[in-house]
A and B are shown apart, each in its own frame.
Chain A
Amino acid sequence: MSLARIRWMATVLGVLGVAGVLVLHWLVFFWVGTERTMGIVQRIFYVHVPSAWVTFLAFGITALCGAAYLWLRDERLDWAAQSAAEGGLIFGAIMLTSGPLWAAYAWGTPWTWEPRLTLTLLMWFVFVGYFLVRASAEDRQAGKRMAAVIGVLGALLIPLVHVSVLWFPSLHPQPVVLNVEEGPTLDADMLVTLMIGLLAFTLIFFSVFFLRYGLEHLRYQRALETRGQPRAA
């Protein structure tokens, strides 16, 4: 894929994502009903859950591309893996800041060391380690391989984070959309707003993911130019 095409895809997805985000904000602040028990603060839900979804998606992509890189040793897979991992860290930071803000009001404490919160924080730090390993390895290729292994192992926490509220019920609410027994338990207006949020955040993620991938592509081209080789397509 050429750099121009990557940037074109990033732009198209970005425009769609921003449009989705504008619609999301209108829905959140002017349309959706207020939840009875928690009140206004429950509206953090519409940024917390989509950011959690994108975090899992991004770390999943990192694991898949990392595993494929270990097998095929194609540099483009490594570019995709680290682009997704960086996005996962950003959206993970959004999830890990919006959650405690919501909890501070709803639970009376921003943080408890209960299984879901602890596992999520652990997963986020595993992916911080992904970048630390890359940056600290003397042999760049070995660093990429080690990071790929960390990405695969870190993503094993994703299903654990999901089922942790089912296996160890605690303060964190049970799933309200991916509820196997009852189906979605949200009111229709809340479900619509959440779905728009999921779509908008996913589009924004893929837009910036392509930008980040384009950065690695550009780095590769510059490296080839420095060595006096012709540009890659």
Chain B
Amino acid sequence: MHMFRPRPAIVLLAALAASLASSPPLVAQVGTEVLAQQSLRPYWYVFIAYALAWLLLLGWMFSIGRRMRGLDGGGAGNRDA
């Protein structure tokens, strides 16, 4: 008989979801009355600020990786040495 055995990744995701669900979410902290008065505008500002931060950082890492691959491939990057 086939028994269901949860994979470690599923268990980890379930634990993470339970942890997030048990903490007071952002919306609950603000309260429905205040939310009703506010538009979604501040949420967009926060989202864009964090997204831009991580895009810039990832772009920097990607750029370094690309330059390293260029050198590993027999390189055009000797100009500074």
A interface residues with partner B (beta carbon < 8 Å): 25-26, 29-31, 33-34, 39-41, 43-44, 47-48, 51, 86-87, 90, 93-94, 97-98, 101-102, 104-105, 140, 204, 208, 211-212, 214-216, 218-220, 222-224, 226
Min C-beta distance of B75 to chain A, whole Å: 5
| B24 CB contact (under 8 Å) in A30, A44, A51, A219 | A30
Chain A positions within 8 Å of B26 at CB level: 29-30, 34, 40
Chain B positions within 8 Å of A223 at CB level: 78, 81
Is A39 touching B49 in the complex (CB atoms < 8 A)? no
Is A208 touching B60 in the complex (CB atoms < 8 A)? yes
Min C-beta distance of B22 to chain A, whole Å: 10
The A interface, classified by DSSP as helix, strand, loop or mixed, is: helix
Within 8 A of A (CB), among B66-81: 67-68, 71-72, 75, 77-81
* Known interface pairs A34-B26, A208-B57, A222-B77; 17 further A-B residue pairs with C-beta atoms within 8 A, sorted by A's residue number: A40-B38, A40-B43, A44-B45, A44-B46, A44-B50, A48-B49, A90-B57, A94-B52, A101-B45, A101-B49, A101-B52, A104-B45, A105-B41, A105-B42, A208-B64, A211-B68, A224-B81
Is B56 touching A140 in the complex (CB atoms < 8 A)? no
Asked if B32 lies at the interface with its beta carbon under 8 angstroms from chain A, I say no
Assess A204 versus B57: contact at CB under 8 Å? Given A39-B38, A44-B46: yes
B interface, size bucket: 20 to 34
Asked if B48 lies at the interface with its beta carbon under 8 angstroms from chain A, I say yes
| A218 CB contact (under 8 Å) in B25, B34, B48, B68 | B68
Min C-beta distance of B43 to chain A, whole Å: 6
Assess A219 versus B77: contact at CB under 8 Å? Given A40-B30, A204-B57, A208-B61: yes
Chain B positions within 8 Å of A97 at CB level: 49, 52-53, 56
Min C-beta distance of B66 to chain A, whole Å: 10
